[in-house]
């Protein structure tokens, strides 16, 4: 695989690739080598303001706001086709930037094209109002109108996938967008800007301002002309954004952290549960919001399951993210490496048996953490309560259904849960008892784009996906029309 040199990255504002107002740049680091990949324009409030004004102009006076839906959706489909045509290059950039294995980024990027095609189809089929007839007096009907300028703030763990997940419904429903991608993974957001530029969208409909959360991100949240903020990232950041958004009465959508349980009952299909548990935590380098970071195993099969987990962990292929055989690559950044390895040390202090695979010596320049099991863990330990966001799985034994439900729910997060049992009644009972936005039964995390995606408790507010995204990206307006002469009080007559 070889692509051209990766150039420095500008901002994309009003259909132009431009330097930041301050002229400042920041360095973007390769997690595999810890060398500088390139430099990135660092946006601040002046750039955000410029981008918001461009997006506002495109919404109100550009053709986007008045364009026929069919024409708008053709642009959305064009973006999908351009992503399809560039999957290899985007996957390469994503792997260089994040350390995610190329075999996994290829699938994510293909899926990202699907996000655009899906929302073109959804808007066509499902962005529909309703009519309410009130006898012979009124007809009331609803229309779903775009909000205007929406701000999208995204994390580094699956950047292109998560950006397109927001950009597709935002644009398809007729909004204009300012995207603030994560500072640790700017490459594919820039590529998206290039593809959208190539698709010929009117100037200002889509804008990208790179930069840091506390400057560019915070300015986007504070901007009075931004109608809504869709955010994916850490729970603590989400909380700050909600507070800051309150000053300008913005709508917010929050997709936040997780500490999801996977429960293996004694009657489960052992081998499939094992495959799912291993994939669910060690794919995407463990930097996955829905990762099954807490695995609860029935005590009667605990020894056998732990032995099988150890065999798997010892054999997972750790390596260069650009090698198609690699299963686990380096973590995004040295600071994150310190956080994750700090939790592994803590696990030993808290009394876990720590069992890790081995990072080959030749990989010592990268931010590698070998797949790690925390055996003999207890749910109340910090390593079972806090999001580690790396390839680290805590294994906790349980005796009864009641006990495992209590432990699975005894955590501040509530994003996903996975249940493995062949008892159909138990499967539904436990699924319904889970305090989480999404539950998979006898399944790994296979995502149907039509479902509501999101969490409860500290994992989020609101849902993305399917027609649920319409509730966020549009304003349901009702129009009341008198069709007869209803009673109007005659004050002062």
Residues that bind ligand NAD (CB under 6 A): 153-157, 162, 180, 182-183, 212-214, 217-218, 221, 232-234, 237, 240-241, 255-258, 289, 387, 389, 415, 455, 459-460
* Sign of the torsion angle spanned by Cα atoms 444, 449, 450, 451: positive
Element (H, E) at 143: strand 138-146
Please report how close the Cβ of residue 459 comes to ligand NAD at its closest, in angstroms: 6
Distance CA 223, CA 248 (A): 8
Of the pair 218, 375, the CB lying nearest ligand NAD is at 218
Please report how close the Cβ of residue 322 comes to ligand NAD at its closest, in angstroms: 22
Please report how close the Cβ of residue 68 comes to ligand NAD at its closest, in angstroms: 33
Q: How far is CA 31 from CA 41, 182, 272, 286, in A?
A: 20, 15, 32, 15
Distance CA 286, CA 319 (A): 14
Residues in the chain: 493
Three-state secondary structure call for residue 28 = strand
Closest chain position to ligand NAD (CB): 213
Q: Which residues are known catalytic residues? A: 255, 289
Neighbours of 385 (CB within 10 A): 15
Of the pair 188, 302, the CB lying nearest ligand NAD is at 188
No. of helices (H) and no. of strands (E), the chain: 15, 22
The residues pairing with 479 across neighbouring beta strands, listed in sequence order, are 141
Please report how close the Cβ of residue 469 comes to ligand NAD at its closest, in angstroms: 13
Closest by alpha carbon to 181, among 204, 205, 209? 209
CB 357 within 8 A of CB 313: yes
Please report how close the Cβ of residue 231 comes to ligand NAD at its closest, in angstroms: 7
Of the pair 72, 259, the CB lying nearest ligand NAD is at 259
Of the pair 252, 302, the CB lying nearest ligand NAD is at 252
Name, in order, each residue with C-beta under 8 angstroms of 199's C-beta and a sequence gap of 6 or more.
Answer: 75, 78, 79, 82
Of the pair 232, 379, the CB lying nearest ligand NAD is at 232
């Amino acid at each position: 695989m070889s692509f051209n040199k990766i150039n420095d990255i500008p901002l994309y504002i009003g259909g132009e690739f431009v330097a930041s107002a301050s002229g400042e740049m920041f360095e973007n680091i390769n997690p595999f080598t810890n060398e500088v990949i390139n430099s990135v324009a660092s946006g601040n409030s002046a750039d955000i303001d410029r981008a918001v004004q461009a997006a506002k102009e495109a919404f109100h006076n550009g053709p986007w706001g008045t364009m026929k839906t069919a024409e708008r959706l053709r642009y959305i489909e064009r973006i999908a086709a351009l992503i399809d045509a560039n999957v290899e290059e985007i996957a390469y950039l994503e792997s260089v930037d994040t350390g995610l294995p190329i075999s996994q980024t290829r699938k994510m990027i293909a899926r990202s094209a699907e996000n655009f095609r899906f929302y073109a189809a959804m808007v066509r089929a499902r962005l529909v109002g309703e009519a309410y007839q009130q006898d012979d007096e009124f007809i009331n009907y609803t229309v779903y109108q775009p909000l205007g300028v929406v701000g999208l703030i995204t994390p580094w763990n699956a950047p292109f996938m998560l950006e397109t997940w927001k950009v597709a419904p935002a644009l398809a429903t007729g909004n204009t967008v300012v995207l603030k991608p994560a500072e640790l993974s700017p490459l594919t957001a820039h590529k998206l800007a290039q593809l959208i530029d190539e698709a010929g969208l009117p100037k200002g409909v889509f804008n990208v301002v790179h930069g840091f959360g506390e400057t560019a991100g915070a300015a986007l949240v504070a901007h009075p002309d931004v109608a809504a903020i869709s955010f994916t990232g850490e729970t603590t950041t989400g909380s700050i954004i909600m507070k800051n958004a309150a000053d300008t009465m913005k709508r917010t959508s929050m997709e936040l952290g997780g500490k999801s349980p996977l429960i293996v009952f004694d009657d489960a299909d052992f081998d499939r549960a094992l495959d799912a548990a291993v994939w669910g935590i060690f794919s995407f380098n463990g930097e996955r919001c829905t990762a099954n970071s807490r695995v609860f195993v029935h005590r009667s099969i605990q020894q056998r399951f732990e032995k099988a987990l150890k065999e798997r962990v010892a054999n997972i292929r750790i390596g260069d993210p650009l090698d198609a055989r690699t299963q686990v690559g380096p973590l995004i950044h040295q600071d994150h490496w310190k956080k994750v390895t700090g939790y592994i040390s803590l696990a030993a202090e808290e009394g876990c048996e720590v069992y890790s695979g081995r990072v080959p010596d030749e990989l010592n320049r990268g931010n590698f953490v070998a797949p790690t099991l925390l055996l003999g863990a207890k749910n109340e330990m910090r390593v079972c309560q806090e999001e580690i966001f790396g390839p680290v799985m805590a294994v906790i034994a349980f005796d009864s259904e009641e006990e495992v439900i209590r432990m699975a729910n005894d955590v501040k997060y509530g994003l996903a849960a996975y249940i493995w049992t062949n008892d159909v009644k138990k499967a539904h009972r436990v699924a319904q008892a889970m305090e989480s936005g999404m539950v998979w039964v006898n399944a790994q995390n296979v995502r149907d784009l039509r479902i509501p995606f999101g969490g409860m408790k500290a994992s989020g507010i609101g849902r993305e996906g399917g027609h649920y995204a319409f509730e966020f990206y549009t304003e349901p307006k009702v129009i009341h029309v008198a069709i007869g002469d209803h009673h109007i009080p005659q004050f002062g007559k």
